[in-house]
Structure 1
Amino acid sequence: MELTWTSDTTSLNYWLTWKFLLCALWVFSSMIIASFLIWKYEESVNTITFKEVTQQKRTWFQYDCEAWMPCIKGIHPVWLMVFRIVSFLLLLAAGVADVTTHGTELFLYYTQWTLTLTTFYFAFGSLLSVYGCLNHHKTFHVGPDQDLFLPLTHKEETTNQQEKGHFLTAGFWGYTFQIIFQMTAGAVVLTDSVYWIVIVPFLTIVGYEMGFLTVVAHSLNLFLLLGDTALNSLRFPWFRISYFLLLTAFYVLFEWIIHAFVATWWPYPFLDLSVPFAPLWYLLVALLHLPCYSIFLLVVKLKYYILSRWFPQSYQTLR
């Protein structure tokens, strides 16, 4: 069940206001900032030279096997694969059940965008894990003192490459998967935190009753993503908050376009440009991206800190 807020948005007078201009400024400014970060920091090269970058910048790159390899040697890649497949099936079932119950109008909600993105992340991750496990079975031999990063037959060659200042990096799909991971993480934290901290307390006052599917849509995604984060070897470069910003900006533009042509309801009250302090609401939601992304960034950093302290012998890293 969702409460809705209506407004006459098809009228030209609704859009030709200083509120809309100020809100548009926030949205397009965030898109410009995000585009600048991508242009400045994103890399597409397959190899990097050790001497060309600092140690901090090397953590921005995605290496071979990190898309499907667990972060601890004792965990076989098949366990991460199974977790991702089960997570995908659970999220797919929840999404289908939600749409079947409430209709396709659910895609007007940012929640449904986030749930769909999380489902796609686990589907993509499952495919990469299947590929990785097959490749691992064919070419990898894992002993107690060996890691899963590189084929044993190429170990000596790669060691020489590293001494020369080169690291093997992931290809297009590896980078794409890491980007989706970071974008999904920010969106999930934003969706669930706004729902449980802001929306639920307000709706409770007006007698809102939460259904089972609504609770699942605002909790299962975060629970499963944290589980995947605990197992995977993916890093979390800070500048990829840009993709998270673009996702939300495209959602807002989508809502504006829909409401400009169709007299329909707003899925969230703070999106309605006619409400008091609408520009302040837009600015507040935009600023919320920083703590939401930073929280997950800290979770990933804490994970690697704990692994390096508690499992120094079995912790896998090329950094």
Structure 2
Amino acid sequence: MRFTTGGSSTRSWEPAVTADTSDLHYWLHWRVSLCALWVLGCMVVAAYLIWRHEGPGADRRPGAAGGGGKDPRPGVLYDDEAWRPCLRDIHPAWLLAYRLISFFVLLSLLIVIVISDRGKIFYYYTQWTFILVTIYFGLGTALSIYGCSKIADENVGTSRTDIELGSYVVGGTAAKPNVEEEDGTREIAGFWGYLLQIIYQTNAGAVMLTDCVFWFIIFPFLTIKDYNLNFLLIGMHSVNAVFLLGEAALNSLRFPWFRIAYFLFWTALYVIFQWVVHASTPLWWPYPFLDLSANLAPLWYFAVAIMQLPCYVVFRLVIRLKHHLLTRWFPGSVIRG
């Protein structure tokens, strides 16, 4: 049996085809129905969370969080939060530099993976997530450039006003605009800002799920098979998490709990993609626990569905720890997202 995890290697294993997945009888088994129930259940929960909490009318829906105060919607995002660091003393250019370097490194790895694996890159959840992380840093870089240019324009306008009024401004003050304005006067983020937020929180769960499944489930199997890890495998299952955690430490993006819905949709979309591919062509499954012919398939699908919750919660706890430490160490500079 050969088994691969998405990286090229002279010693890899692909699972053998256990059944003809293009045969209609394969999909009429009770195991398939039960696995489909888990996937459908995740999608229904995700759709409900988005309907209840997302969008401008969410605060008027029954049971929605908020309902008063300055910030009635937990999912609201302000324009500057997409490109401003978590501390006022850090210039947005530093976040821009971090995102640009991360994007360059991830894109370089992605190009190498495409050259190495070609069409197989779209066959694994790992690569799907890796592509999404790369897209996030690319979009984040673009929004950081927008933010830095906005600050530069504000500084130029402030300098001209000061010159006209004959006033003196202490150097560097204009580079740190006040963000403690009333929420009613702050500009709400547009489409690209919310897209960045959604991809960010999708990545948070997907990266944790990818790396946990690889290092705690797949890797022990590879060790038994005397498998030699290569640079691409290590990079895909570690660099993405390192860069995303660094991003989480620097940015001021919020992390509302209900956007786990997009992570659930992302995982369900991958599973449905695999089902469509296998229903069309008899192929081996990229991950053994996706094989619907196995007696334990419903248990595996249920386990992966449940694993999504702790994977998302762990990243959310990291964000809470970050805010706790920043509030303690930099009380006068921290920007609460």
Which amino acid in 2 is paired with 1:280? L
Output the CA distance in 2 between the equivalents of 1:106 and 1:136: 39
Which amino acid in 2 is paired with 1:177? L
1:20 equivalent in structure 2: 32
CA contact (8 A) 1:4 1:268 kept: no
Larger Rg: 2
**1:289 counterpart = 2:322:** no
**1:170 counterpart = 2:182:** no
Summarize the alignment of residues 211-222 of structure 1 with structure 2, pairs less than 5 Å apart. 211-222=230-241
2:132 equivalent in structure 1: 117
Output the CA distance in 1 between the equivalents of 2:73 and 2:328: 21
1:129 equivalent in structure 2: 144
Which amino acid in 2 is paired with 1:304? H
Summarize the alignment of residues 170-209 of structure 1 with structure 2, pairs less than 5 Å apart. 170-209=189-228
Deviation of the 1:11 alpha carbon: 1.4
1:99 equivalent in structure 2: 114
CA RMSD of superposed structures (Å): 2.4
CA contact (8 A) 2:77 2:194 kept: yes
CA contact (8 A) 2:125 2:270 kept: yes
Deviation of the 1:143 alpha carbon: 5.4
CA contact (8 A) 1:185 1:225 kept: yes
Change in 2 beyond 3 A, CA 1:144/1:138: closer
2:14 equivalent in structure 1: 4
Relative contact order higher in (CA < 8 Å, ≥ 6 apart): 1
Output the CA distance in 1 between the equivalents of 2:79 and 2:129: 27
Which amino acid in 2 is paired with 1:88? F
From 268, 272, 275, the counterpart of 1:249: 268
Change in 2 beyond 3 A, CA 1:242/1:149: farther
Q: Give the secondary-structure state (helix, strand or coil) at the position aligned to 2:129.
A: helix
CA contact (8 A) 1:84 1:125 kept: yes
2:259 equivalent in structure 1: 240
1:41 equivalent in structure 2: 53
CA contact (8 A) 1:64 1:149 kept: no
CA contact (8 A) 1:147 1:316 kept: no
Output the CA distance in 2 between the equivalents of 1:94 and 1:212: 10
Change in 2 beyond 3 A, CA 1:187/1:35: same
Output the CA distance in 1 between the equivalents of 2:275 and 2:22: 10
Structure 2: 5+ residue stretches without partners: 1-8, 61-65, 159-170
Which is worse superposed, 60-69 or 20-29? 60-69
Deviation of the 1:188 alpha carbon: 0.5
From 90, 96, 101, the counterpart of 1:86: 101
Output the CA distance in 2 between the equivalents of 1:81 and 1:313: 23
**Sequence identity, in percent?**
48
CA contact (8 A) 1:80 1:232 kept: yes
Output the CA distance in 2 between the equivalents of 1:31 and 1:65: 31
Deviation of the 1:202 alpha carbon: 1.4
Deviations along 1:1-53, one digit per CA (max 9) or x if unpaired, are 353222321111211100000000110111111001000000247x99xx943
Output the CA distance in 1 between the equivalents of 2:175 and 2:92: 14
Output the CA distance in 2 between the equivalents of 1:148 and 1:32: 42
Output the CA distance in 2 between the equivalents of 1:198 and 1:149: 48
Aligned length: 306
Which is worse superposed, 251-260 or 198-207? 198-207
Deviations along 1:218-258, one digit per CA (max 9) or x if unpaired, are 11000001111111000110000000000000100000000
Change in 2 beyond 3 A, CA 1:281/1:54: farther
Output the CA distance in 1 between the equivalents of 2:220 and 2:241: 20
CA contact (8 A) 1:186 1:289 kept: yes
TM-score under structure 1 length normalisation: 0.89
Deviation of the 1:56 alpha carbon: 7.9
Change in 2 beyond 3 A, CA 1:282/1:55: farther
Change in 2 beyond 3 A, CA 1:43/1:135: same
Output the CA distance in 1 between the equivalents of 2:278 and 2:91: 50
CA contact (8 A) 1:95 1:116 kept: yes
